[in-house]
Amino acid sequence: MTDFDHALRSLRVWDTELPGFDPRTAPAEPLSLFHDWFVSAADAGQVEPHTMSLATVDEDGRPDVRTVMLHGADERGWHFASHATSAKGRQLAARPEAALGFYWPRQGRQVRVRGRVSTSPRDEAYADLHARTTGALASALVGRQSEVLGSLAELRRVSEAAWERAEAEPGAHAESWTLYVLEADEVEFFQGDERRRHVRLRYRREPGGWVTELLWP
């Protein structure tokens, strides 16, 4: 057995006391339950509960996934941001649908979200960017996300120049910076169980509103 195999098979899942979840008490719509679970994850000490997997599809139908940061969740949908010129930006422009995945192992919980993606007005994107850190602005000013990089020295040079500009011009615009909103048509809440009797509650958007259903684990 290799070190990898030994490490893989020695790991435990949810080596902690898990909370309960009674789907009969769930609200009629998913947003408030997501807010409750998010706050609960943060209060439980979950590291970076605001990070999520973002799955998109390219023009050839091949799936792609990466980890991004949640920028908000409200009545319009789940918000995240990136460059329109990045791989994810180009994929969303060609096929504006995506899926999000949150995993909070401290509580054995997952949330999956699927739906159509739209872009927010540019002033909202800039307001979002300027409300973040100097480092976030500097990174946005570098741009060129997903392009081939010639060397780390080139990255260092361009990054240093971007940091200088971000510190001197905190209101600087990154022209390709885009705020996206995923309007969910399906949201699933997964509560892990030590005996593998996991609770899965799915919300589906219908013309008359949200409907809920339980799923086998």
Beta-strand (E) ranges in the chain? 51-57, 63-69, 72-74, 77-83, 97-104, 109-119, 177-191, 199-206, 209-215
Confidence of residue 137 (pLDDT cuts 50, 70, 90): confident
Q: Which of 198, 11, 184, 166 is nearest to 100 (CA)?
A: 184
- In angstroms and rounded to an integer, the radius of gyration of the C-alpha atoms of the chain is 20
Cβ neighbours of residue 107 closer than 8 Å, sequence gap 6 or more? 16, 18, 19, 40, 41, 44, 46
Query: Stretch 114-130: mean pLDDT, rounded?
Result: 91
Once rounded to an integer, what is the mean pLDDT over residues 122-135? 86
User: What is the arithmetic mean of pLDDT over 133-152?
Assistant: 88
Q: Return the minimum-mean-pLDDT range out of 30-44, 46-60, 140-154, 176-190.
A: 140-154
Question: What is the average pLDDT value for the chain, to the nearest integer?
Answer: 94
| The pLDDT value given to residue 119 | 96
CA–CA separation, 146 vs 151, rounded Å?
A: 14
The β-bridge relationship of strands 77-83 and 177-191 is antiparallel
pLDDT at residue 153 above 90? Answer: yes
Q: Which of the four pLDDT bands, split at 50, 70 and 90, describes residue 131?
A: confident
Residue 126's pLDDT band (boundaries 50, 70, 90)? Answer: confident
Q: What is the percent of the chain where pLDDT is above 90?
A: 76
pLDDT at 176: 87
